[in-house]
Amino acid sequence: MLSRLVRRTHMYLALFLFPWMLMYALSTAVMNHRAYFVERYGSGPIPFEAERTITYDGVFAENAELRTISQQILASLDLDGAHNVSRRKDGAIVINRNDLTTPRRLTYSPADRTVVIERMAHRSSAFLERFHRRRGYATGYRLDTLWAVSVDLVLVAMVFWVASGLWMWWEMKVTRRLGLSAFVLGAATFGFYLMTL
Amino acid sequence: MTFSHLNRRVHLYLGLALLPWFFMYAISSIPFAHTPFVEARDVAKKLPMWTLRMDRTIDVNVPAPDARATELRAFGAAILNAAGIHGTSFGVYRQSESQINVYAYSFWKSTQVKYFIPERRFTVEDRRFRWDQFLTGMHARGGFEDERILTRSWSVVVDLVCLSIVVWIGSGVYMWWGLPGHRRWGMAAIVAGAASFLIFTLAL
């Protein structure tokens, strides 16, 4: 009964989480070959392209905090979501909206009440890397918190796949010898790297 | 041997051979996913992160601000040599117009060398060992910028792990399809997972 439960959990968890694992595999490969992409696109930050400029008519409470201002601007433009905000020396407020597919930079100038909206140029490698690095519970947005929970689920699942994989292997007597060889070879190689790198 | 048999064996033996990497990536993701918690615990210890080991002047040719990465790397190697640090992986970064930082690291030890251009002076500082940084350092290790064969071979294994994950997905789906009694619920799991992931992709 336990064996059956372990096997089914191993399988169904994998079927549900395969998009996450595929994303982590592809994004890791991209980051592992970063030099190729630097050569292709050049080093330095990804450029932003102008999207539109609007006049913002909203009003802010006196002494409103930056975060309040940024949330109000983003909500009014239907762009609300995880973001960072800062104020430049010239008084302009810069909001970096960490959209997964299309990151945007919004620059609000209080003097003329304009908002310049720019979008980051699309690069598949950068998109995958953003996905890989997206985590944490600190943004204050429910969807981001749910994503962080899903990342935690992936971590737990990975540990479970290791443990249940070992369990299933040990149950198959015919594979024990060759399996042990594979395990020892892998562990020894890993140990060697651990001592030398 | 049938294809189904081969598929099962590849799934299993690949898993057993790469198990330490897979486990390491899982465990080392925890400090990444819960950075504020881990940092708060460390801050509570009130221990300094870096310990100064050396402070001296040196006359070397500093690469121009627009120097190629290879020139900057050669400069980093020369500075490390002057600091008596040999045979480790390292990265070189121009911190500012007046400062270049060189980070030398292994899984167990990290050292930063700061070169102050106007003063022609450098400092060598050792980082206090932390388990979370040990794990995240291993997790983030990769790339082919380092010329040493050993370092590159680790990156080849990282590629192998990526490829293996794709193979596990493919071989796992094949095995699932071979179990007619689980097709309906399996399909439900796939659709639910894919739909959730798509929503995150579009809405995050």
pLDDT tens across B1-21, in order?
899 999 999 999 999 999 999
Please report, rounded to a whole number, the percentage of residues in chain A having pLDDT higher than 90: 79
Question: Contacts of residue B36 in chain A, CB cutoff 8 Å?
Answer: 136-138
Q: What is the mean pLDDT of residues B102-124?
A: 92
The confidence score (pLDDT) of residue B104 equals 92
Residue B26 in contact with partner chain A when CB distance is under 8 A: yes
Q: What is the mean pLDDT of residues A45-73?
A: 90
- Whole-model pTM: value is 0.87
The confidence score (pLDDT) of residue A139 equals 85
In chain B the domains, ranked by start, together with CATH numbers, are 3-40+148-203 (no CATH), 48-127 (3.30.160)
Selection from A127, A31, A192, A38 nearest residue B143 by Cα: A31
Please report, rounded to a whole number, the percentage of residues in chain B having pLDDT higher than 70: 100
In degrees and rounded to multiples of 5, residue B115 shows phi and psi of: -105, 120
User: A170-194 pLDDT, tens per residue?
Assistant: 999 999 999 999 999 999 999 999 9
The sheet with strand B110-116 has its strands ordered as B50-57, B121-127, B110-116, B99-105, B89-96
Residue A67 in contact with partner chain B when CB distance is under 8 A: no
The confidence score (pLDDT) of residue B64 equals 82
Mean pLDDT of chain B: 92
- Helix or strand or coil: residue A193? helix
Residue A25 in contact with partner chain B when CB distance is under 8 A: yes
User: B129-159 pLDDT, tens per residue?
Assistant: 999 999 999 999 998 887 889 999 999 999 9
Could you give the CA distance from residue A152 to residue B29 in angstroms, rounded to a whole number? 9
Q: What is the mean pLDDT of residues B158-182?
A: 95
Sign of the C-alpha dihedral computed for residues A99, A101, A107 and A108 taken in this order: negative
Mean pLDDT of chain A: 92
Q: Do B69 and A43 touch (CB under 8 A)?
A: yes
Query: Nearest by CB to B21, which of A20, A183, A190?
Result: A190
Query: Nearest by CB to A28, which of B32, B158, B196?
Result: B158
Q: Do A183 and B16 touch (CB under 8 A)?
A: yes
Instruction: Band the pLDDT of A42: cuts 50, 70, 90.
Output: confident
Query: Across chain B, where does the E strand assignment appear?
Result: 50-57, 89-96, 99-105, 110-116, 121-127
Chains A–B, number of C-beta pairs less than 8 Å apart: 176
Query: Nearest by CB to B172, which of A8, A14, A197?
Result: A14
Q: Do B143 and A151 touch (CB under 8 A)?
A: no
Q: Do A11 and B161 touch (CB under 8 A)?
A: no
Chain B nearest CA to A29, separation (Å): 6
Question: Considering only A158-162, B94-98, B181-185, B192-196, which range has the smallest mean pLDDT?
Answer: B94-98
Query: Nearest by CB to B204, which of A19, A26, A144?
Result: A144
- Tokens matching residue B105: 């690291």
